[in-house]
Structure 1
Amino acid sequence: MKAEIVSIGNELLIGDTVNTNASWIGQLLTEEGLDVTAVHTIGDDLEVVKETIRRSMERSDLVISTGGLGPTHDDVTKKALQELFDAEMVVDESVLNFVKKMFEKRNIPFTKSNYHQAEVLNNAEVLFNTQGTAPGLWFEELNSSLAVLPGVPFEMKHLMREKVLPKFREKLQNQEYRRSRYLVTAGIGESTLSDSIIGDLAPFLQNGTTVAYLPSPYGVRIRITSAGRSVEEIEQKISPVADHIYEKAGSLLIGEGKELSLSEALGKELRKKEMTIATAESCTGGLLSSTLTDVPGSSDYTMGGIIAYSNNIKEQELNISASTLEKHGAVSKPVALQMARNVAEKFGTDIGVSATGIAGPGGGTEDKPVGTVWIGFWSEEKHFALKTIFTKDRLQNKERTVAVAMETVRRVLLDMETMPYGLEPEWA
């Protein structure tokens, strides 16, 4: 079953808005077993919208379009479809009442342009949108199916999950479809993981089963995909590959799931051991604490943190001695060690973790180039620091520092013998 995606909006073409919708939809459709053959990004031009959607529907079984459903003059998607299908525009009273109540609840005046939000095409099934004012539309035309969705990401995702997915799942009932299983690792590079740890997977890849390595600053996600007519059939093809990876990668795997995060995996271990953590951050500027608390319920184990960006704050809030800062500099092993220990003492936690470094793009020296980072760890049993040199990109350096810091804590909790990326602990 072939699918195409049409992203509509001038803002996408000129770079004002990054087209995250297309990548999200593409991943979702692929996981559901559809072959995504094309992604089109087009402007708010009525004729271009008509022609692009027409050609996509003639080629593919399913077309998903996003954008152009708003109330302003540049939102032309419904008008283009009205002309393409020679349909009539009608008012859906249930949508109109919902939109009016939403505006009344927010104490916003209801205008003529808002009235147009309730206008739909008479040949479409309305996909009621409880997350916004623009309903989605479902068409069965030109021997194809077309889902027309708002461009606002959380509205689009809601309609895709709740309305669109059930529809094309019905169409796939008697067809072979694909499913993917995601195994998630942390603290190891893609090439090392593939070549030195997991090795050749060819003997396990049968009947069209594929494996992809998806790296990010927080780890490598391994996607195993296969096709079949049932979940059981697909799992029989995927399981031998997954079992081999588990055998080889072992504790490098933090769990499974497309959305599983390193912060979730770490939180699980902290909660299991009933331990608490505090953070002392310089170069990461609060990103470590923010990432830890992205997990619901993280207040069970994350007690707090200090962003000690300046040396004065390091002295005043973390009791780092002026002599240590003067002798070794803020980016150093002694400072990282003291930051980790002192923040744990300050917040009364079982673990203290710290990060101090040169995020860049300036500020580096010959001895301490941009990307130099010291990460400190303290508990009653262990007190050490890790030194690493990342990139010249500021954001990447912050993200990688957070990833190494969290994975370091996870590995200590699991009594693993190695540190992330083979880094060597320098003990206090």
Structure 2
Amino acid sequence: MHSDAQQPVTHYLKRMKASILSVGQELLLGDTINTNASWIGQLLSEHGIRCTEVVTIGDDAGQIIGSLDRLFAGNDLVIMTGGLGPTHDDITKATLLRYYDDVLVRHQPTFDHVKGIFERRGMPFSVSNHAQADVLSKADVLFNKTGTAPGMWLERNNRFLAVLPGVPREMKYLMTHKVMPRVKRINGEGASYAAYYLQLTGIGESNLSDIIIGDTSHLTGEALTLAYLPHTHGITLRISSYAPDTTQARENARPLLEHIRSRANEFIFSQEPGEELQHALVRQLAGAGKTLAVAESCTGGQLAHLITNVPGSSAVFLGGMVTYANSLKTGVLGVPEAMLNEHGAVSQPVALHMARSVAQQTGADFGLSTTGVAGPGGGTPEKPVGTVWIGFWSRDHHLALKATLYPDRLVNKERSAVIAMDVLRRHLSGIKTLPYGLTFSDAKT
């Protein structure tokens, strides 16, 4: 057993390879979502370390040993989380005793720390809690000031194991303050990492890859990769570049970045990691000094919900009306009953009227509307489930476009709101085309 300050690591790897081993039956059963693995993977990538694999297993000694053998065969580092608690199903330490042919010793600083936590809370300090201070004698102890289970750092044959608690807050503290300093000493400055994140919407993943961006194999390689990450609001493109220093990594990524921008610029709404469309739209409206109001039917307030999630949206968003029933479309928005009778609520004329009415009633510069068949029922051969009309109004343009979406109600609500926001984003950006290759009517009402 060693303290944090002892035995600096001098082994040097140009490009360390690592894997993540998540232990816990709750992860396999779906009781707990494995957010730890995604967070660790991102952290490793940011430090130029190649994460080759994520493995999730139950609390089973045979699986733990078998997984460690296999992962160490192809990796320099394994990050292991879970199974360090005080209950009978937390078997990680007992299994590692066998794997490293070791014995447990008590780490007094951890014992005093855990005892102090229980005393401050007025709780009994049981024998099982005493055992949380027991660690492998061959391990460097990773003192956990945020919880009761210490981490451990083990080495054998130039293969390194970081053993961490599964509680996300405790794991993140130990990874940041205890594990990564060791990894940096091992890995040296052999690989720096630069990443670009492009947020796109208004096009499907296959069309973006095959038709718009095309083959990028001449621009990519082991040290420069392009990943397509689809989600509800669109697609995130992640460019990952590795080089001896960050400046070179960014320079190496430039040709690929320029290739994508030259071909897909109309679909790119942000280059901020994790930023969603509503954030970019609010920023555009604020920059233009314009305001927005919405009239929603099939989205049921989803459009207003997304926009008002953005801090500062009150400066540009005047309000919204959820006119779900036809009586409210007529009574609140003034949609003529004759129009509803002739065309139905899910129609171009109704979408046009809703967008114009909500803007004029509120004094907004722009009006957006949604009306459709969200599903799972209510569809007809002429208007199947997933049929949505989206209206747009400004003082210079008044149009409606038709989208044919999915048989899933919640997905249809979300996607309809995203398309509506994208129509306005494109207008503010001076883009003449519409999302997803949709057609539109420029009919005035």
Instruction: Give me the TM-score of the superposition, normalised by structure 1.
Output: 0.85
Tell me the SS of whatever aligns to 1:284: coil
Which of residues 294, 301, 305 is equivalent to 1:286?
301
- Within 2, Cα distance between the matches of 1:296 and 1:97? 41
Identity percentage of aligned residues: 44
Question: For residues 314 and 94 of structure 1, do their structure 2 counterparts lie closer, same or farther at Cα, with a shift above 3 Å needed?
Answer: farther
How far off its partner does 1:305 sit? 2.9
Question: For residues 207 and 44 of structure 1, do their structure 2 counterparts lie closer, same or farther at Cα, with a shift above 3 Å needed?
Answer: closer
How far off its partner does 1:410 sit? 0.7
Tell me whether 1:368 sits opposite 2:396 in the alignment.
Answer: no
**CA offsets per residue over residues 331-361 of structure 1, 9 Å max, x none?**
2223222332333345443322222222223
**CA offsets per residue over residues 170-190 of structure 1, 9 Å max, x none?**
433232354432222221233
Alignment of 1:323-334 (within 5 A): 323-334=338-349
Question: For residues 51 and 190 of structure 1, do their structure 2 counterparts lie closer, same or farther at Cα, with a shift above 3 Å needed?
Answer: closer
Which of residues 222, 232, 240 is equivalent to 2:237?
222
**CA offsets per residue over residues 213-272 of structure 1, 9 Å max, x none?**
333332222222332111122122111111222223334322224323222221221121
Aligned AA for 1:94? Answer: H
Which of residues 237, 240, 250 is equivalent to 2:255?
240
Match of 1:119 in 2: 133
How far off its partner does 1:376 sit? 1.7
Q: Choose 1 or 2 for highest CA Rg.
A: 2
How far off its partner does 1:369 sit? 0.9
Question: For residues 201 and 94 of structure 1, do their structure 2 counterparts lie closer, same or farther at Cα, with a shift above 3 Å needed?
Answer: same
Tell me whether 1:139 sits opposite 2:139 in the alignment.
Answer: no
**CA offsets per residue over residues 145-189 of structure 1, 9 Å max, x none?**
333334344554555455544442343323235443222222123
Match of 2:410 in 1: 395
- Within 1, Cα distance between the matches of 2:314 and 2:132? 43
Tell me whether 1:76 sits opposite 2:130 in the alignment.
Answer: no
Could you tell me which runs of 5 or more consecutive residues in structure 2 were left unpaired when the two chains were aligned.
Answer: 1-15
Aligned AA for 2:365? Answer: D
**CA offsets per residue over residues 25-79 of structure 1, 9 Å max, x none?**
3344344332333322111234543553465346532212233344544333344
- Within 2, Cα distance between the matches of 1:173 and 1:326? 73
Match of 1:426 in 2: 441
- Within 2, Cα distance between the matches of 1:176 and 1:253? 29
Match of 1:16 in 2: 31
Question: For residues 158 and 176 of structure 1, do their structure 2 counterparts lie closer, same or farther at Cα, with a shift above 3 Å needed?
Answer: same
- Within 1, Cα distance between the matches of 2:237 and 2:372? 30
Tell me the SS of whatever aligns to 1:341: helix
- Within 2, Cα distance between the matches of 1:276 and 1:196? 35
- Within 2, Cα distance between the matches of 1:214 and 1:202? 18
Tell me the SS of whatever aligns to 2:241: strand
Match of 1:413 in 2: 428
Alignment of 1:56-135 (within 5 A): 56-57=71-72, 59-81=74-96, 84=99, 85-90=102-107, 92=110, 93-98=112-117, 103=121, 112=126, 115=129, 119=133, 121=135, 123-128=139-144, 130=146, 133-135=147-149
- Within 1, Cα distance between the matches of 2:106 and 2:70? 23
Which of residues 42, 51, 60 is equivalent to 1:36?
51
Tell me whether 1:188 sits opposite 2:203 in the alignment.
Answer: yes
Match of 1:355 in 2: 370
Aligned AA for 1:211? Answer: L
Question: For residues 290 and 119 of structure 1, do their structure 2 counterparts lie closer, same or farther at Cα, with a shift above 3 Å needed?
Answer: farther
Match of 2:12 in 1: none
How far off its partner does 1:417 sit? 0.9
Tell me the SS of whatever aligns to 1:380: coil
Native 8 Å contact 2:86 2:132 kept in 1: no
Tell me the SS of whatever aligns to 1:204: coil
How far off its partner does 1:315 sit? 4.3
Native 8 Å contact 2:133 2:150 kept in 1: no
Question: For residues 58 and 214 of structure 1, do their structure 2 counterparts lie closer, same or farther at Cα, with a shift above 3 Å needed?
Answer: closer
Match of 2:13 in 1: none
Aligned AA for 1:140? Answer: L
Aligned AA for 2:375? Answer: G
- Within 2, Cα distance between the matches of 1:345 and 1:100? 64
Native 8 Å contact 1:69 1:134 kept in 2: no
Aligned AA for 1:334? Answer: P
How far off its partner does 1:383 sit? 2.3
Tell me whether 1:383 sits opposite 2:402 in the alignment.
Answer: no
Question: For residues 10 and 208 of structure 1, do their structure 2 counterparts lie closer, same or farther at Cα, with a shift above 3 Å needed?
Answer: closer
Match of 2:355 in 1: 340
Tell me the SS of whatever aligns to 1:363: coil
Tell me the SS of whatever aligns to 2:104: coil
- Within 2, Cα distance between the matches of 1:364 and 1:100? 63
- Within 1, Cα distance between the matches of 2:362 and 2:92? 55
Question: For residues 258 and 358 of structure 1, do their structure 2 counterparts lie closer, same or farther at Cα, with a shift above 3 Å needed?
Answer: same
